[in-house]
Structure 1
Amino acid sequence: MTDIHAHADTAPDSNDESVAEPAALLSGKDFWSTREGTGIRSMVLTDGPHGVRRQGGEADHLGLNQSLPATCFPPGAGIASSWDPALMREVGNALGREARALGVDVLLGPAINIKRSPLGGRTFEYLSEDPRLTGALAVEYVRGVQSAGVGTSVKHFAVNNQETDRMRTSAEVDARTLREIYLPAFERVVKEASPTSVMSAYNAINGVFSSENRWLLTELLREEWGFDGLVVSDWGAIKDRAEALAAGLDLEMPGTGDAGTEAILQAVRDGRLDRSVVLASVERLRTLAERTAPIADADMAALDLDAHHALARRAAAASIVLLRNENETLPLRAGQRVAVLGELAVAPQYQGGGSSHVSPTRVDLPLDELRVALGDEHVVYAAGYSRAGADDSEGLRAEARATAASADVAVVFVGLYEEDQSEGFDREHLDLPVAHVALIEAVAEVASRTVVVLSNGGVVTLEPWHDKVDAIVEGWALGQAVGSALADVLTGAANPAGHLAETIPLALADTPAFLNFPGEQEVVRYGEGVFVGYRYYTSVDRAVRYPFGHGLSYTTFGVDAFEVEAEGADAAIVRVTVRNTGERAGSDVVQLYVAPAPSAVRRPARELGAFAKVTLEPGESATVSLALERRAFAHWDVRAARWRVDPGTYRVELGRSANEIVAVRELPLAGDVERPAVLSLESTVKEWFGHAIVGPVLTQSMMDNATPEQQAAAEANANALKMVESMPMGQFARFPGVEIPEEALEQLIALSVSAAAPAAAGSVA
């Protein structure tokens, strides 16, 4: 339990009720809005992240009630595969303008938790398994939304990677894993985009709930990262209102009547909470109200929703990943007879379930859009399966099989339904519905060419049917323009340019968190550490079906030049010239990975260091300059509690994906020059003999004082020192035959102190 009073700035006044009105402002008025008072207006906060979910009637949190129509853009799982921060900013701006028109002050997004396991129930909302890709996209989302005068709430802070028991589970994560995997995206957004608010998560971190975690909300977020916005709870996350306020959580949502206010006032009366803490939070609420001041003439009628739908279509097309395309099966060609199979072609799944569910302004159907693009006479359809149940699946499958046999190409639409992927629960497997797999296999047996189109908010296994089909299109969850976007890519009107933002494994058992997800008895141990996603697969050389960063195109790209130049001791600038060597315009993603120098800690084989998307006409080339800043080479030094760049030679790798490296350059870096350690009698034998200054002196002294027999024995048994290297020197020095005098040890300790002093001023923080 946090000592609330220990963080007070001034002595409490137990008789002072002047904070009653301000304290009341720190709890919501109702489900979606805040209270007004002391010159602060009421504000509306609502979901996000991929569309405005403004409920006009009775409110709820689980998506059970309808919301007002708004553009449903591709959810995180889709748009992250675009690898396009500029596109993300466009979408963010459109979201902000719609939020403003619907009277929303704060859009609850982006959702940027790392995809630790493909079973996570909200992976359709989250962006990526990589913090650098996630952070780059999230920065532009925040900039886009806030450019329209609407606030954002970056969520869920932090380590909210599962839905199972999310209200009480403690995520047990070591400091290095927190710093390298689960916190960097939040840090980058805070430092680069200045979000108006951050939302605390439901779960606990190492035994302390996020909403009452002073280290997380104050020491890290505010004091270390410099966040000056509002911290709001996830809906219903707070366990102790006064503890949460003291920890740094300003606004409790939704409203709890007067319960939260009374808890704050009682803590002030008891001297456990200083009134200045209350007033500071109220001022942050006031700042939020000022930053999101409403525009009088903003309304949906004034918006060009057709333009927003066109943006949703472009964003969805950019998010589609062409996984497989044998014998140039795609794009579909004019005049081909195309069999469209699968009920998802007429009743598409384009978002997940839960609090982010959007009521779209319209929905494009894949079958309708393919008929428009190819001509009605060239497209035939059969359902193949029914969402309603399996009773008629065999008959529907037989009809689809016959339809496929009569066509030049069969396009099979399969995927997951909203009840398969939603907030509130995690998935139990990676399988597609049985009827969907049966349809794929039945069609592949008779069709001349088979294309599988996936609609799934989370990763699904492509086994055992992968090798039986000619092309696979990963559609993820694409938002309301799902049909037109898929038609654009399938027919070649748009060249596929998406790349996987998460790995598709061969089996669930291959995934790094398999043995530790979702935990047990209210605890989940992050035993895989920093080896999340592709960091794990590449480090252990584990085969995957499709790696992080993979994505095919209808054109080809080559590299004309690849140059790496060090900048100072711990950074580099990289220049890559990319050429479109094919016959179609297209977009490529330049992916730079960094392989570490030798290190005292275990590091992934490679980590994404930088990326850029470039669009080129046939034959056109462009040179991309990418900065690899200090953090691209650093790891979190747990002992020193800071980032460290090891001296040594790094490898800068140019990849088509995390698995396919096409060019490598070596990069020597001076890194961080560490001052020698100050030794003590508790320091180990290994630390003493390994000390740059003391070690050689100690070794020479012991050899000088040894008998010829002892010297010969030491030289003959090279492993003798290893047997005692973990022993404290004070204990080792008393061993018979060793017996290092106490005064000699004191002199050597003093030598280590003097050796450390000159370098202290130049050490790297």
Structure 2
Amino acid sequence: MAGTRPTPVDQAQADQAQADRTAADRAREAVVEAALAALDLDTKARLLAGQDVWSLPAVPEIGLKSLVMSDGPIGVRGVRWTADDPSVALPSPTALAAAWDPALARRAGRLLAQEARRKGVHVLLAPTVNLHRSPLGGRHFEAYSEDPYLTGRIGTGYVTGVQEGGVGTTVKHFVANDAETDRFTVDNLVPPRALRELYLAPFEAIVENARPWGIMTAYNTVNGTTMTEHHHLVNEVLRGEWGFDGFNVSDWTAARSTVGAVEGGLDVAMPGPTTVYGPALAAAVRAGETDEATVDEAVRRVLRLAARVGALEGAEPVVTDLPEAVDGPELAREIARRSFVLVRNEGALPLPAGRSVALIGAAARDARVLGGGSATVFPARTVSPLEGLTAALPEGALTYALGADPNQELAPAGKGFELRAVCRDAGGTVLGTGSAPSGHLQWMGDDLPDGVTHDRLHTVELTGTFTPRESGPHTFGIKGMGAFTLTVDGTEYFDGVQGTDTDDPFAAFFGDPVERATVELTAGRPYEVSLRHVVVVPDDMPMRVVTFTLAHQEPVRDPAELIAEAVEAARAADTAVVVVATTERVESEGFDRTDLRLPGHQDDLVHAVAAANPNTVVVVNSGSPVELPWRDEVAAVLLSWFPGQEGGAALADVLTGAHEPGGRLPTTWGSLDSAPVTQVTPENGQLPYTEGVFIGYRAWEKEGRTPAYPFGHGLGYTDWTYDAIEVTGTAVTVRVTNTGSRTGRETIQLYVSPSTPDPERPARWLAGFANVEAAPGESVRTTVDLPARAFETWDEESRTWTPMKGTYEIKASHSLTDPRLKTTITI
């Protein structure tokens, strides 16, 4: 069972394995030292700078291959941002954390390593272990939880799995990159105790328990020092106190100073070829501004990474026997259903057999399966809720109505478009072509179609056909910067230059599309569409990128009319299933949220459907919390997160009862008005973390506020009794019984609270958890070892961890607010 201590035989095997690892590490280090000694200063400096967007240079004379990195965390995109090279798309990190299962995260990591090897990638730029400090954080879907312990456990499983597959990880973003507003320049003022107990804690746990081969430092500044130059946090804490021996890579374009970065512990400045390292670093050494020995330390860590992943000749990689192959789509489906959190169920789920279902919502037809920004990958297929339920239910049992469309703005061209990218030189000669199925083009560095080079490329034309699903006025627009010409059905609607009012170097990636044409079109008829762009890469761009998007919006129908159609469909069915969702303009990298409301008229839709059908089930397709003002009006609420490519199939599994929803909330859900920590916008360049150690459920309890659904909450399809709890040392054993009628899983959560309340400490905190499975009537026991850190605080005066002796209450709970058993422990 989870948490059980190893037997003597297990311990002996672990000790032998550790001895073998130590011997192998020494052998690799010898090869690393020999390779380092053979390098001159210029080669060493060059090795620390990206040769392009995703890779480091090879050095054949020492047998060093080019090290290739790729974005994650829910898939491996590879070095090309294109659907021509599809990737398995797993559910969002919030979903993975909602499963509360480090072993499942480990399996996800193994799959991603398999994908990385397939694509020639040595290092995955993941996982993200920043915390959900405020519900307004725009990138929360890419991080795990508001709780540092849960984050550390899930992150440890993920990193372990990836590296068991022979691929490196870069745990990110070190540290306190908890919001997106002014992320390049913000100075986050984090009190020392909060920094240690919350924001550094997941990184520390992963370094200790998974030995990651890489860390990525963040854009932001912490307490006056930018993270790419933070000597104290990188050299003294990460490497000194924690013993991290991997490489430290900048977030892309984050490095600002040659000497400051190398003295601050930054090993690799990405992307290349223009960075603060390379020739600038060699020149700084020759000028006496930094020591060559400091450069050697950075190079040593890069060579160590190469040795570990098998990219340095003469060094045996860490992994020589690869794990068994993983079925990517099947694992994606399993993670999705294990992550779904049933927060309310008044007998509506699972759906009774033989009943009719009205499926309602734009997101039921066009599912949002992943978040926006650098986490984006291109799966070979996606299963929508409509497709999943159509396949699972008997013929004629399912009807569909749009109800309300959350996309109140232009989105990348999708359904109905068949596009390709045609590249031409200044004379109009075609250099090459590439696919662009979503209307979004993003070529970074030398990632260009065959036959195309930056020096010859003059224009790129997205061209092809659009066959509308609906008749009426269709809106077209452009996302990007520069000169564009937009033509639809032979008519030129725009020919001009599109700019931006921001100095964000990633504005072309994350900016809003601009409406440029409204055209009356007929459903089912193909129309010629063209968007031509004159390629100009500004001199101050840190990397050569060609990126723009053809955007589109279908005819906007009267919201009242759509809701009325949905209400009629709901009345005619035994059960109404409404899928509501956020959009890429609500949750994405590059900006924070301004509210927690569902976009468009989706709340009105749910109110109306619930009034028409008492058996209304709402599926919430969002990566992070949204407000649910109708939650008490409906029979069931199921949170599906961004469920990955198999999300619709997993949803059908759970709704029909083939599998139970396995998730528990990794983050508190509540209204913005009640949320205790909401400030994400800096003032005068600074963002004070004035709440200290009180974020998430710690803050909700301190403020005496009641959320919609508490941390750890989630329902299944069976019932559990908690029978007994006992403590031996710091090991807690719990026995539970499945008293329901079907096999199920339970997540036993252990919360610690001091017997004597202390206003400087949270009322309680998560200190352990375990998953158990049992058949009807079966009892199971599990033992969890509570970590010593659960009973320590960071003393700001002595700058050390201090045990807080005394008596603590231990509660075995179904959720934070649903304790079942309690006992005490004395430290």
If the TM-score is normalised by the length of the shorter chain, which range does it land in? 0.7 to 0.9
Report the Cα distance in structure 1 between the residues aligned to 2:301 and 2:377, rounded to whole angstroms: 29
Question: Is the Cα–Cα contact under 8 Å of residues 164 and 323 in structure 2 kept in the other structure?
Answer: no
Letter in 1 for 2:592: D
Which residue does 2:330 correspond to in 1?
A: 310
Q: Which residue, out of 206, 209, 213, partners 1:192?
A: 209
Report the Cα distance in structure 2 between the residues aligned to 1:178 and 1:294, rounded to whole angstroms: 36
Which residue does 1:736 correspond to in 2?
A: none
Question: Is the Cα–Cα contact under 8 Å of residues 185 and 219 in structure 2 kept in the other structure?
Answer: yes
Question: Is the Cα–Cα contact under 8 Å of residues 55 and 66 in structure 1 kept in the other structure?
Answer: no
Q: Which residue, out of 324, 330, 333, partners 2:352?
A: 333
Using the TM superposition, give the Cα deviation of residue 663 of structure 1 relative to its aligned residue in structure 2, in angstroms.
Answer: 2.0
Say which SS state the counterpart of residue 277 (structure 2) adopts: helix
1:656 paired with 2:678, answer: no
Letter in 1 for 2:388: E
Which residue does 1:359 correspond to in 2?
A: 378
Q: Deviations over 1:735-755 (max 9, x none)?
A: xxxxxxxxxxxxxxxxxxxxx
Say which SS state the counterpart of residue 279 (structure 2) adopts: helix
Return closer, same or farther for 1:577/1:67 CA change in 2, 3 Å cut-off.
farther
Report the Cα distance in structure 2 between the residues aligned to 1:108 and 1:665, rounded to whole angstroms: 42
Runs of at least 5 residues in structure 1 that lack an aligned partner in the other structure: 1-16, 60-64, 297-301, 670-765
Letter in 2 for 1:434: G
Letter in 2 for 1:380: T
Report the Cα distance in structure 1 between the residues aligned to 2:682 and 2:651, rounded to whole angstroms: 38
Which residue does 1:33 correspond to in 2?
A: 55
Which residue does 1:741 correspond to in 2?
A: none
Say which SS state the counterpart of residue 579 (structure 2) adopts: strand
Q: Which residue, out of 631, 644, 648, partners 1:479?
A: 644
Which residue does 2:45 correspond to in 1?
A: 23
Which residue does 1:385 correspond to in 2?
A: 404
Which residue does 2:364 correspond to in 1?
A: 345
Using the TM superposition, give the Cα deviation of residue 294 of structure 1 relative to its aligned residue in structure 2, in angstroms.
Answer: 6.2
Report the Cα distance in structure 2 between the residues aligned to 1:217 and 1:234, rounded to whole angstroms: 14
Question: Is the Cα–Cα contact under 8 Å of residues 324 and 473 in structure 1 kept in the other structure?
Answer: yes
Which residue does 1:82 correspond to in 2?
A: 99
Which residue does 2:703 correspond to in 1?
A: 540
Q: Deviations over 1:614-665 (max 9, x none)?
A: 1111111111101112111111111121111222211111122112222221
Using the TM superposition, give the Cα deviation of residue 425 of structure 1 relative to its aligned residue in structure 2, in angstroms.
Answer: 0.4
Q: Please show how residues 594-743 of structure 1 align to structure 2 within 5 Å.
A: 594-598=752-756, 602-669=760-827
Report the Cα distance in structure 2 between the residues aligned to 1:161 and 1:249, rounded to whole angstroms: 21
1:551 paired with 2:575, answer: no
Letter in 1 for 2:151: T
Q: Please show how residues 398-417 of structure 1 align to structure 2 within 5 Å.
A: 398-417=564-583
Report the Cα distance in structure 2 between the residues aligned to 1:283 and 1:503, rounded to whole angstroms: 43
Q: Deviations over 1:204-246 (max 9, x none)?
A: 0001000000001100000100000000000000110221111
Report the Cα distance in structure 1 between the residues aligned to 2:614 and 2:757, rounded to whole angstroms: 53
Question: Is the Cα–Cα contact under 8 Å of residues 351 and 418 in structure 1 kept in the other structure?
Answer: no
Using the TM superposition, give the Cα deviation of residue 68 of structure 1 relative to its aligned residue in structure 2, in angstroms.
Answer: 2.0
Which residue does 2:72 correspond to in 1?
A: 48
| Greater percentage in helix | 1
Using the TM superposition, give the Cα deviation of residue 385 of structure 1 relative to its aligned residue in structure 2, in angstroms.
Answer: 2.1
Using the TM superposition, give the Cα deviation of residue 305 of structure 1 relative to its aligned residue in structure 2, in angstroms.
Answer: 9.2
Report the Cα distance in structure 2 between the residues aligned to 1:67 and 1:321, rounded to whole angstroms: 34
* Greater length-normalized contact order (CA 8 Å, ≥ 6 residues apart): 2
Using the TM superposition, give the Cα deviation of residue 576 of structure 1 relative to its aligned residue in structure 2, in angstroms.
Answer: 0.1
Q: Which residue, out of 580, 602, 618, partners 1:436?
A: 602
Question: Is the Cα–Cα contact under 8 Å of residues 25 and 35 in structure 1 kept in the other structure?
Answer: yes
Q: Please show how residues 13-162 of structure 1 align to structure 2 within 5 Å.
A: 18-37=40-59, 39=62, 40-56=64-80, 66=83, 68-162=85-179
Report the Cα distance in structure 1 between the residues aligned to 2:688 and 2:95, rounded to whole angstroms: 28
Using the TM superposition, give the Cα deviation of residue 291 of structure 1 relative to its aligned residue in structure 2, in angstroms.
Answer: 1.0
Using the TM superposition, give the Cα deviation of residue 601 of structure 1 relative to its aligned residue in structure 2, in angstroms.
Answer: 6.6
Report the Cα distance in structure 1 between the residues aligned to 2:280 and 2:361, rounded to whole angstroms: 55
Which residue does 1:456 correspond to in 2?
A: 622
Q: Which residue, out of 269, 278, 284, partners 2:295?
A: 278
Return closer, same or farther for 1:164/1:582 CA change in 2, 3 Å cut-off.
same
Return closer, same or farther for 1:601/1:449 CA change in 2, 3 Å cut-off.
closer
Say which SS state the counterpart of residue 488 (structure 1) adopts: helix
Say which SS state the counterpart of residue 605 (structure 1) adopts: coil
Question: Is the Cα–Cα contact under 8 Å of residues 169 and 522 in structure 1 kept in the other structure?
Answer: yes
Return closer, same or farther for 1:394/1:632 CA change in 2, 3 Å cut-off.
same
Q: Which residue, out of 488, 500, 511, partners 2:675?
A: 511
Letter in 2 for 1:284: R
Q: Which residue, out of 158, 168, 176, partners 2:193?
A: 176
Report the Cα distance in structure 2 between the residues aligned to 1:99 and 1:382, rounded to whole angstroms: 40
Return closer, same or farther for 1:667/1:303 CA change in 2, 3 Å cut-off.
closer
Question: Is the Cα–Cα contact under 8 Å of residues 76 and 124 in structure 1 kept in the other structure?
Answer: yes
1:498 paired with 2:518, answer: no
Using the TM superposition, give the Cα deviation of residue 391 of structure 1 relative to its aligned residue in structure 2, in angstroms.
Answer: 3.4
Question: Is the Cα–Cα contact under 8 Å of residues 650 and 666 in structure 1 kept in the other structure?
Answer: yes
Using the TM superposition, give the Cα deviation of residue 599 of structure 1 relative to its aligned residue in structure 2, in angstroms.
Answer: 7.5
For normalisation by structure 1, the TM-score amounts to: 0.80
1:420 paired with 2:586, answer: yes
Say which SS state the counterpart of residue 624 (structure 1) adopts: strand
Report the Cα distance in structure 1 between the residues aligned to 2:222 and 2:614, rounded to whole angstroms: 54
Return closer, same or farther for 1:304/1:482 CA change in 2, 3 Å cut-off.
farther
Q: Which residue, out of 651, 654, 657, partners 1:489?
A: 654
Say which SS state the counterpart of residue 413 (structure 1) adopts: strand
Report the Cα distance in structure 1 between the residues aligned to 2:807 and 2:323, rounded to whole angstroms: 54
Question: Is the Cα–Cα contact under 8 Å of residues 591 and 612 in structure 1 kept in the other structure?
Answer: yes
Letter in 1 for 2:703: V
Using the TM superposition, give the Cα deviation of residue 587 of structure 1 relative to its aligned residue in structure 2, in angstroms.
Answer: 0.7
Say which SS state the counterpart of residue 498 (structure 1) adopts: coil
Report the Cα distance in structure 1 between the residues aligned to 2:263 and 2:743, rounded to whole angstroms: 56
Letter in 1 for 2:91: P
Using the TM superposition, give the Cα deviation of residue 256 of structure 1 relative to its aligned residue in structure 2, in angstroms.
Answer: 3.7
Q: Deviations over 1:500-519 (max 9, x none)?
A: 000001x21322222x3222
Question: Is the Cα–Cα contact under 8 Å of residues 100 and 294 in structure 1 kept in the other structure?
Answer: no
Say which SS state the counterpart of residue 370 (structure 2) adopts: coil
Report the Cα distance in structure 1 between the residues aligned to 2:312 and 2:325, rounded to whole angstroms: 19
Report the Cα distance in structure 2 between the residues aligned to 1:615 and 1:258, rounded to whole angstroms: 52
Report the Cα distance in structure 1 between the residues aligned to 2:735 and 2:383, rounded to whole angstroms: 38
Q: Which residue, out of 718, 724, 727, partners 1:564?
A: 727
Letter in 2 for 1:447: N
Moved more, 261-270 or 332-341: 261-270
Which residue does 2:394 correspond to in 1?
A: 375
Report the Cα distance in structure 2 between the residues aligned to 1:160 and 1:351, rounded to whole angstroms: 20
Moved more, 305-314 or 523-532: 305-314
Report the Cα distance in structure 2 between the residues aligned to 1:640 and 1:600, rounded to whole angstroms: 20
Question: Is the Cα–Cα contact under 8 Å of residues 65 and 312 in structure 2 kept in the other structure?
Answer: no
Aligned length: 632
Using the TM superposition, give the Cα deviation of residue 75 of structure 1 relative to its aligned residue in structure 2, in angstroms.
Answer: 1.3
Report the Cα distance in structure 2 between the residues aligned to 1:67 and 1:428, rounded to whole angstroms: 35
Letter in 2 for 1:35: P
Using the TM superposition, give the Cα deviation of residue 560 of structure 1 relative to its aligned residue in structure 2, in angstroms.
Answer: 1.4
Report the Cα distance in structure 1 between the residues aligned to 2:312 and 2:333, rounded to whole angstroms: 28
Say which SS state the counterpart of residue 140 (structure 2) adopts: coil
Question: Is the Cα–Cα contact under 8 Å of residues 458 and 476 in structure 1 kept in the other structure?
Answer: yes
